[in-house]
Structure 1
Amino acid sequence: MLKRLLLVLSMLAFAAPAGAVTIGDDGLHKQDWFSITFRDIAEDIEAANEEDKRLVLVFEQRGCIYCRKMHEELLTDPEVRDYIKANFKVVQYNMFGDEEVTDLDGEALTEKTAARKWGYVFTPTIVFLPEQAPEGGSVAQAAVVTMPGAFGKSTFLHMFQWVREKGYETGEHFQKYHARKLEEGRAAGENATD
C-alpha cells in the first residue's frame, strides 16, 4: 500500500512540475500575473502608467509551439518573470479571438481584426506601447517596438530592459544594446549566450 502511495505521489510530482503553466479554455497558455482588462488600449496605457509600468500586448494562438516555449521557459524563469512583473502590465491577446478591443483611434475591433489591422502575423508577437497614449492613430503606429517570435532568455529579457530604459529614444540600436549587455554579463562571469 505504501509503495502504491509513493508511486502515485511521484507520478503527480512529474505530471505537474513546479512553475507549470496552465492552458485556458481558449487554448492559450496562462500566467496568473497577466492583466485582465476591458482591452481599451488608451485606458490600459493609462492604468499601466498609474502603476509606474509600461503596457505590453502579447499576441498568441492555440497550439503555438513558440508561445509554449515563451511561457514554459522564459516567463517561468524567476529573473525574467520578476523583471517583467515589476515593470510591465502584460495583456494577452488571442490572434484569432473574438473579444472586443478598442484601438487608440477609438475603433472597436475583435482581437483577430485588430491583429490584421495592426499587421501582426506571428505568434508570439510582443507589442510595447508608449508611456502616454497618443491622440488617434493605431496600436501599430504607436508601438515603440514590436518583437515577433520567441527568443532566448538574454534577448527576451534585454528587449524588456531596453524598452524600460527607453533605448529607442537614446539612439542605441537594440542589437548594440544587446551585445553590450552580453559583454557586461560575460565580464561579470555570467554565462549569457543569446
Structure 2
Amino acid sequence: MLRIVLLFLALGWNPVAGAAEMGDDGLHKEDWFSITFRDVAEDIVAAKGEGKRLVIIFEQRGCIYCREMHEKLLADPEVRDFIKANFKVVQYNMFGDEEVTDLDGEMLTEKTAARKWGYVFTPTIVFLPEEAPQHVSVRDAAVATMPGAFGKWTFLNMFRWVHEKGYQKDEHFQTYHARVIQEMRAAGRLDAE
C-alpha cells in the first residue's frame, strides 16, 4: 500500500489537491478568494464588473467551523464552482488589523469593522448588494448574512437564494431552502448533508 501511495505522489497526484493553504494569519486561504484593498464600495463595483456579487467572509485563527467550511464545503466541487462563478469572495480576519473602508466612508480595521457591523461568529458570510449604496454601513447594506457554519445544502442554497435575488421576493430563505430540498428529494438527487 505504501508503494502505491509513494508512486501516486511521485507521479504528482496529491490527495489534498485544491485544499486551502494556511496563511500566516492562521486563516485558510482559497486560491480563488480575491485579494483587495478592502474598500467595500470599490469591491462591489469590481464584483459587478466581473458579473458577480461581493461576499465578505469573516474568519478567525483556530476556528474549527472555518476549517470545516474550507475542508468540506468549499472543497466540494458543486459548492466551490457555483460560488466561484457567481461571487467575488473577500476574506476578513475577525481580529485582524488590515485597513477596511466601510460603505459610509469610515476607515476601520477588520476587527473594528466586525464590531461595528455586529459580527461575532465565525465564519460569518455577508452578502452585499449589486450596487454600492452610499452613507450606510455594510451591516445596513447587506442583503443577507449567514452567521456560523451549516451543512452543504443550507450553505449552497443561501448562495443560490442570493444569486436568484430571493431577498427581493416574498419567499423567505427558510421556505426557499425547504422547497429546494423537497424538489431534490423528489428528483432523487439529495445526498446526505
- Classify the TM-score, shorter chain: over 0.9
State how far apart, in whole Å, the 2-side matches of 1:141 and 1:192 are: 36
**1:9 deviation in Å?**
2.0
State how far apart, in whole Å, the 2-side matches of 1:132 and 1:177 are: 24
Name the residue aligned to 2:165.
166
Describe the superposition over 1:130-158 as per-residue Cα deviations: whole angstroms up to 9, x where unpaired.
00011111000000010001111000000
1:44 partner SS: helix
1:59 partner SS: strand
Whether the aligned pair in 2 keeps the contact of 1:182 and 1:192 (CA below 8 Å) is no
* Structure 2 counterpart of 1:9, from 6, 10, 21: 6
Describe the superposition over 1:23-73 as per-residue Cα deviations: whole angstroms up to 9, x where unpaired.
000000010000000000000000001111000000000000000000000
Name the residue aligned to 2:93.
94
Name the residue aligned to 1:21.
20
Q: Does 1:121 align with 2:81?
A: no
Question: CA distance change for structure 1 residues 51 and 15 in 2, over 3 Å: closer, same or farther?
Answer: closer
2:108 partner SS: strand
Name the residue aligned to 2:52.
53
State how far apart, in whole Å, the 2-side matches of 1:193 and 1:155 are: 12
Q: How does 1:1-194 map to 2 (within 5 A)?
A: 6=3, 9=6, 17-192=16-191
Whether the aligned pair in 2 keeps the contact of 1:75 and 1:81 (CA below 8 Å) is yes
| Aligned residue type for 2:107 | A
| Aligned residue type for 1:127 | V
Structure 2 gaps, min length 5: none
**1:98 deviation in Å?**
0.4
| Aligned residue type for 2:146 | M
Quote the RMSD (CA, aligned, Å).
2.1
**1:19 deviation in Å?**
2.9
Whether the aligned pair in 2 keeps the contact of 1:48 and 1:88 (CA below 8 Å) is yes
Structure 1 gaps, min length 5: none
2:96 partner SS: coil
Describe the superposition over 1:154-181 as per-residue Cα deviations: whole angstroms up to 9, x where unpaired.
0000000000000010110000000000
| Aligned residue type for 2:115 | R
1:101 partner SS: strand
State how far apart, in whole Å, the 2-side matches of 1:192 and 1:181 are: 13
State how far apart, in whole Å, the 1-side matches of 2:76 and 2:162 are: 19
Q: Percent identity?
A: 73
Q: Give the length in aligned residue pairs.
A: 191
State how far apart, in whole Å, the 2-side matches of 1:70 and 1:95 are: 16
**1:190 deviation in Å?**
1.1
State how far apart, in whole Å, the 2-side matches of 1:57 and 1:155 are: 18
1:113 partner SS: helix
State how far apart, in whole Å, the 2-side matches of 1:120 and 1:101 are: 15
| Aligned residue type for 1:9 | L
**1:15 deviation in Å?**
8.6
With the length of structure 1 as denominator, give the TM-score of the two structures: 0.92
| Aligned residue type for 2:6 | L
